[in-house]
Amino acid sequence: MTQETLEPLDANRYRQAGVDIAAGQALVDAIGPLVRSTARPGATAELGGFGGVFDLREAGFEQPLLVATTDGVGTKLQLLAQSGQHQVAGFDLVAMCVNDLLAQGAQPLFMLDYFATSKLDPVAARAVIEGVVEGCREAGCALIGGETAEMPGHYRRGDYDLAGFAVGAVERARLLPRGDVGAGDVLLGLASSGVHANGFSLIRKVLRDQGLFLADPAPFAADQSLASALLVPTRIYVKSLLGLFEHEVVKAVAHITGGGLIDNLPRVLPDGVVARIDAGGWQASPLFLWLYEAARMTPDQMLRTFNCGIGMVLVVVADYADDVRRFLTEKGETVYRLGELVAGDGPARVRVDGIDG
């Protein structure tokens, strides 16, 4: 094709197809000051380049290992969008990623986000980024890049999706889980702030089956709406746990997400051990008790679907379990002694004593 055969470019043509480049650039310009507020040693948190740069030496690491995670918000996103709580969606995106970094003992360093929609709504998009920024500040990591994509025809109008990517670092000698995890170690659970961002496909089904709407009073708490009970931001545990990691009394950490206690805890345990958990070691909130009854689940199904009030499980040296519990309580965490590791046969597994089913 020669230059003479090219048609003159019509600046409106792409916009007519559903993509507004100017609106996207306006959003980038608008969120620039927010993003810069997440700057930390190692990253300036500036937007505009083709990639973000992080200086590990400036961040103070000597023999670092990089740890990378990626996650989303799942179908909780639909309920958040319906209720206009876009900022919670952004915050949850960070939480789901950085809490995974903690399972390796890693300090969150930087975050990137991906926002895709049918037609860019600058107000909703800015609120999402504000939530991402708030989460990054809470986690102490820099937001160093992202992508906004308008995809008309791929998403329904008004829908959007999010993906997050976080990178952390840990000194080689402090990588978790440690190699000496074994029988006798104590299991401590850190309370969740609610459902977090898992199990919402089932929650949405329960709402449909019972004819309930987010604005309705919660059946388990008349002074709360279902929206306020179900859409609580996911708790970020970074500030509490990073200080604890320095004392080297934590052997492993499990982030309790999809799969619950039953499937997530064995991921950080070696073969030949059983995580023996006492069901009476913590009290699930009325929200989880309602979900258990409304969805007509067995205890095992419940423990595999929801966090049931436990957002993180720590495997700690038995002699320091009480000290760890005091340390985390002073940091504002609610801590439960769930049980301990005992010797077993075959792959690592969880045994919950005190429940039927």
**pTM beyond 0.75:** yes
The answer to whether the CB of 81 falls within 8 A of the CB of 74 is no
Q: Is the peptide bond before 177 cis (omega within 30 degrees of 0)?
A: yes
Residue range 148-176, pLDDT digits in tens: 999 988 988 889 999 999 999 999 999 99
Rounded Cα distance, 67 and 105, in Å: 9
Residue range 40-87, pLDDT digits in tens: 888 766 655 677 788 898 889 999 999 999 999 999 999 999 999 999
Q: What is the pLDDT, as a whole number, of residue 51? A: 72
Cα separation values, 318 from 153, 183, 274, 315, Å? 56, 10, 16, 9
How many of the other CB atoms lie within 10 Å of CB of 119? 16
Residue range 218-234, pLDDT digits in tens: 999 989 999 999 999 99
Q: What is the pLDDT, as a whole number, of residue 3? A: 43
Q: What is the pLDDT, as a whole number, of residue 233? A: 98
pLDDT at 116 over 70: yes
Question: Please, how many CA atoms are within 13 Å of residue 270, restricted to the half-sphere of its CB?
Answer: 13
Cross-strand pairs, 310: 191
Q: What is the pLDDT, as a whole number, of residue 352? A: 96
Quickly state the pLDDT bin for 1 (edges 50, 70, 90).
Answer: very low
What's the token pair of residue 151? 């995809």
Rounded Cα distance, 8 and 295, in Å: 59
332 — alpha (psi -120 to 50), left (phi > 0) or beta?
left
Consecutive H or E run containing 330: helix 321-330
Residue range 272-297, pLDDT digits in tens: 999 999 999 998 999 999 999 999 99
| C-alpha torsion angle, residues 327, 328, 329, 333 (rounded to 10) | 170
Consecutive H or E run containing 242: helix 238-245
Q: List the helix and strand counts (H, then E) for the chain.
A: 12, 12
Rounded Cα distance, 81 and 235, in Å: 19
Burial degree of 22 (CB within 10 A; 0-12, 13-18, 19+)? exposed
Rounded Cα distance, 88 and 76, in Å: 10
Cross-strand pairs, 350: 275
The answer to whether the CB of 291 falls within 8 A of the CB of 221 is no
Rounded to an integer, the average pLDDT of 18-32 is 57
Cα separation values, 84 from 34, 221, 254, 277, 294, Å? 20, 22, 31, 39, 26
183 — alpha (psi -120 to 50), left (phi > 0) or beta?
beta
Average pLDDT score over the chain = 90
Q: What is the pLDDT, as a whole number, of residue 23? A: 54
User: Beta-strand (E) ranges in 192-245?
Assistant: 217-218, 221-225
Rounded Cα distance, 14 and 17, in Å: 5
Residue range 182-212, pLDDT digits in tens: 999 999 999 999 999 999 999 999 999 999 9
Rounded Cα distance, 112 and 99, in Å: 15
